[in-house]
Chain A
Amino acid sequence: MFTESYLKAIFDTYYKSLVTYANRFLSSHDECEDVVQEVFADLWQTENNFPDEISLKSYLYKTSRNKCLNIIKHNKVKDKYAATSIQQLNDDNLFMQHVLEEEISRQLHEAINTLPIRKKEIIKLSLKGLKNKEVAENLNIKLQTVKTLKSQAYKQLRQRFKNLSIIISFLIAHKMKLEHPLKKPN
């Protein structure tokens, strides 16, 4: 069983990304939140033991996926997208691709959130693909300011991901690499 404070910490870390994941299949935002809240409520009751956070994380994405699938299948309302959604939800490769995108968003969000407000805004706009000039217009600040703050912000982010990375590299020595694949298939 999980303690409330631990579960809350996990919730704070993953809730938003699980909701946006569900939102790929369920169009109602409220329904998405509902699904993910249920996932956490169930988790609270579960006697499952997770050896580490990675397996817990996998579990969260997988149960969210299953719940979405159930909802779509049991939805009385005929949704013309339902068939494609079901197909997509059943595709393991697609599942991994989706989780990958959600995880990238989640980690970036976490990192960007540590930046001061102006830098945060600039990074968000530039991730959207806006040019420096457009960012400057958008935020009504000088182009030079955008350039300076942007480069500072990127520097901070770089530093963070450089340091945060638990494993920077784990390559098995060259010779061994040919004999064993990188990771045993599970």
Chain B
Amino acid sequence: MNTIFHISRLIIKKKLDVLTPAEKLQLKELKKKYPFLSKTDFTKVSDTLSSYDTIDKDKAWKNVVLKAEQSKSKQKNLFSNKSWIKYAAIAVLFLGIGFLFQQGYFSTNSTLDIPNEFITLELENGSTKIINEDGTSELVDKKGNIIGNQKGKILVYDTTITNETLVYNTLTVPYGKRFEIQLSDGTRVHLNAGTSLKYPVKFIKGQNRQVFLKGEAFFDVSTDAKHPFIVNAEEINIRVLGTQFNVSSYLEDEQITTVLLEGSVGVYSSNETYNQETATLLNPGFKAEWNLKNHEIKVDKADTETHTAWMEGRLILNGVPFNDILKKLERQYNVVFINNDKALENRRFTARFDVENIHQVMQSFSYSASFTYKFDSNKIIINP
């Protein structure tokens, strides 16, 4: 029955000619199962639309309120009537409900309670500052000079400050949030949830521009041929002169992935110094995957949108194993999954979520993958 609601949308999309190839296939399969799908009658639909205009919803709602009140007073009478049969019936009912509770049919305390964690900035003196995403703040160095400004979800470092020595700041974005910074050379970095970036407050003239990444970030590096920009992501370094690329280096993942959108980058092991001959060079539209187990690198063509959709809060999954999807959702929404449906673990899914909240994601996901779920504080428990 529930499939019908999904199919209704597919049929509208078919009518409007916006089905994706995967959906076309899906609809074809569904037609085999439900032959009546081929008979969908759009004249009936348009008749229905016209009859909608004759229905007065406001009046109807008043009636609903009235009816609800009437039946409430009826129920009261029922309880005041002292008949033991009724009490017995109620007792049985309670036993029944108790049984259902035990079976987990009702998810009573099934609300999601996501803790609010803060974006933090560790300053040169080791102190930590909390960044309020809804506010603005000024960043001051130990001499009292303003070195940066934060406005909402972006922090911009001053490009005019002069520093003789390297002084580092570290920005940490918790699960469930995203943030953007502009470094002193004008390079813009989008930080995904569960990411920290360590970078100099001011890059020093004559030295490489080096930053340290844990997690995932998109870099739009300002061009400066004299000062190569180097991202250190755990076991690898990524060296560029000026370009756009995405690096994902979450520890819980099995690989560090670098995806190039524009320009060129060189990827090499962080134990080595850069050598043009031995570094892996990437062309736009390609990705390099560094395997954290066997320390090997693999270059492949990449669908760049899949890797950068996170910046807009979207999630595109192309044949991604269930477990990896859960990891992504945990980071994006700051929730914890407990998966009791082992059969799902190795299944791969293709899906696209456009800026939905976790409730909507779980609703459609559970529906498509046929599992049930309940919430328990910040945990989402998945059952077959």
Contacts and interface: CB of A to CB of B under 8 A. Distances in A.
Tell me, yes or no, whether A binds B: yes
Interface of A: 8, 11-12, 15-17, 19-20, 23, 29, 33, 36-38, 40-42, 44-45, 49, 51-55, 57-58, 62, 93-94, 96-97, 99-105, 107-109, 112, 124, 127-129, 154, 157-158, 161-163, 165-173, 176, 180, 182-184, 186
B18 A161 contact: yes
Contacts of A184: 370
Contacts of B372: 51
Q: Is the interface of A mostly helix, strand, loop or mixed?
A: helix
8 contacts: A37-B63, A37-B67, A42-B71, A54-B367, A104-B40, A108-B12, A166-B356, A186-B2
A23 B52 CA distance: 11
Interface string B50-72: 11101101001101100110111
B351 A168 contact: yes
B2 A58 contact: yes
B34 interface: yes
Nearest to B362: A52
Contacts of B347: 172-173, 176, 180
Nearest to A57: B5
Nearest to B26: A171
B91 interface: no
B107 interface: yes
Interface in B344-368: 347-354, 356, 360-361, 363-368
Of listed B2, B12, B25, residue having the most chain A CB within 10 A:
B12
A49 B8 contact: no
B350 A170 contact: yes
A57 B52 CA distance: 18
Contact of B42 (A37, A127, A183): A127
A102 B369 contact: no
Contacts of A102: 48
B235 to A, nearest CB: 29
Among A23, A33, A36, A104, which residue has the most Cβ atoms of chain B within 10 A? A104
Interface size for chain B: under 10, 10 to 19, 20 to 34, or 35 or more residues? 35 or more
Interface of B: 1-9, 11-13, 16-18, 20, 22-23, 25-26, 29-30, 34, 36-37, 39-46, 48-52, 54-55, 57, 60-61, 63-64, 67-68, 70-72, 75, 106-108, 110, 319, 347-354, 356, 360-361, 363-370, 372-374
A108 B45 contact: yes
A173 B3 contact: no
B305 to A, nearest CB: 13
A169 B352 contact: yes
A15 B60 contact: yes
Given A16-B55, A102-B48, A154-B16, A107 B9 contact: yes
Q: Which 7 A-B pairs have the closest CB atoms?
A: A169-B22, A41-B67, A170-B368, A103-B8, A173-B348, A105-B48, A41-B68
Contacts of A62: 1
Contacts of A51: 107, 110, 372-374
A166 B52 contact: no
A45 B7 CA distance: 31
A60 to B, nearest CB: 11
Given A49-B107, A166-B353, A29 B54 contact: yes
Given A20-B52, A107-B12, A167 B364 contact: yes
A131 B144 CA distance: 73
A52 to B, nearest CB: 5
A29 to B, nearest CB: 7
Contacts of A165: 9, 13
B45 A11 contact: no
B368 to A, nearest CB: 4
B71 A11 contact: no
Contact of A15 (B40, B43, B55): B55
A58 B5 CA distance: 9
Contacts of B106: 49
B369 A170 contact: yes
A180 B71 CA distance: 46
Contacts of A180: 347
A96 B39 CA distance: 12
Contacts of B54: 29
A14 to B, nearest CB: 11
B107 A12 contact: no
A175 to B, nearest CB: 9
A169 B318 CA distance: 10
A128 B43 contact: yes
A159 to B, nearest CB: 9
Given A171-B350, A172-B349, A183-B370, A38 B49 contact: no
A153 to B, nearest CB: 11
A94 B7 CA distance: 15
A19 B43 CA distance: 18
Given A127-B42, A173-B347, A52 B363 contact: yes
Given A104-B11, A127-B45, A19 B350 contact: no
Nearest to A103: B8
A16 to B, nearest CB: 5
